[in-house]
Structure 1
Amino acid sequence: MVAKLSNEVKTFIVQALACFDTPSVVATAVKKEFGLDISRQLAESHDPTKRTGRDLAKRWKALFEETRKAFLEDTAAIGISHRSVRLRALQRMAAKAEDMGNMQLATQILRQAGEEMGGALTNRRELTGKDGKDLPAAPAPVNIFQLPDNGRG
């Protein structure tokens, strides 16, 4: 027999699921936060997008929808969504890799930071020049070697 969950615990579960935490992650968080052992299945039963949550009370469905909407609209609250946060984390990782003597890993991290700064990890690409004008044409190759004339020309 499963003990009845308090509204505080149910709110926690519904909001965590609305923020795309998996039922396993939610069950672990409930244990840590409230000291309660709940199953993954019990956590999942609070997700109205799942079959097991189809009979969830309207109150919890509404909370789920509100939380999900706010979560999807507010990426500013997620630190890793900001380039400067990612770069600082990469800087810490690169320094640690160097301290450990792992130059291959440090090089990979530095490459990733360079890609981050160069916009390679974004959806934006510059396909035009400044102010929307055409990109400058590449200069024609110059032949720096000249064949001797040998009087045949």
Structure 2
Amino acid sequence: MAALKDEVKLYVVTALACFDSPTQVSVAVKEEFGLDVSRQQVSCYDPNTYVGRNLSQKWRTIFEETRAKFRATAEEIPIASKAFRLRGLARLAQKAENMRNLPLVASLYEQAAKEVGDIYVNKGKAEPSDQLPTPVQIIIGVKDGARKNDDPA
């Protein structure tokens, strides 16, 4: 393993703290710094892995602070916004319509309806309700397919 400069180590630690995979980080280091770093070497900078258990306190602190900040600012990521997702779905639906791909258009409309209807959001109330649920009676019967009339025998 080649020794990495602090600048590259910082890049690796912060990328891992933001939940990038070691493979993604390895490719990003190649693009950003022109260095070939194996994913195994990158894994050594994640204190949550077995190979990263001996990571120095300096890098461990940076990792933990970056991860906490990343989790706290998730709402700033555009795709976490409902409006952003709906605009993207609208663009995709328009392109699909222009291509006359009607099944895709229908599925995109369904996806948008689910998004607007908050199907992906848990809005359950924690406090108990004062009203009791209305009892429902369900009657199950067997119908003979060979008979023409609907009268039970």
TM-score interval, normalised by the smaller of the two chains: 0.7 to 0.9
**Matched residues in 2 for 1:104 and 1:125: separation?**
33
Q: How does 1:27-38 map onto structure 2 within 5 Å?
A: 27-38=26-37
Q: Which residue of 2 aligns with 1:78?
A: 77
SS at match of 1:51: coil
**Matched residues in 2 for 1:77 and 1:9: separation?**
26
Query: 1:119 touches 1:125 (CA, 8 Å); kept in 2?
Result: no
**Matched residues in 2 for 1:103 and 1:97: separation?**
7
Matched positions, count: 129
Tell me the CA shift for residue 32 of structure 1: 1.3
Tell me the CA shift for residue 12 of structure 1: 0.7
Q: TM-score, normalised by structure 2?
A: 0.78
Tell me the CA shift for residue 41 of structure 1: 0.4
SS at match of 2:51: helix
Q: Which residue of 2 aligns with 1:14?
A: 13
1:54-78 superposed Cα distances (whole Å, 9 cap, x missing partner)? 1111100000000011111111221
1:14-67 superposed Cα distances (whole Å, 9 cap, x missing partner)? 011111111011111111111111111011110000010011111000000000
CA RMSD, Structure 1 to Structure 2 (Å): 1.8
1:85-107 superposed Cα distances (whole Å, 9 cap, x missing partner)? 11111111111111222110111
Q: Which residue of 1 aligns with 2:56?
A: 57
**Matched residues in 2 for 1:10 and 1:99: separation?**
47
Tell me the CA shift for residue 3 of structure 1: 2.7
Q: Which residue of 1 aligns with 2:102?
A: 103
**Matched residues in 2 for 1:31 and 1:77: separation?**
27
**Matched residues in 2 for 1:118 and 1:31: separation?**
43
Q: Percent identity?
A: 43
Which consecutive unaligned segments of at least 5 residues does structure 2 have? 135-153
Which consecutive unaligned segments of at least 5 residues does structure 1 have? 127-131, 138-153
Runs of 4+ in 1 over 2 A off after TM superposition: none
Q: TM-score, normalised by structure 1?
A: 0.78
Q: Which amino acid aligns with 2:11?
A: F
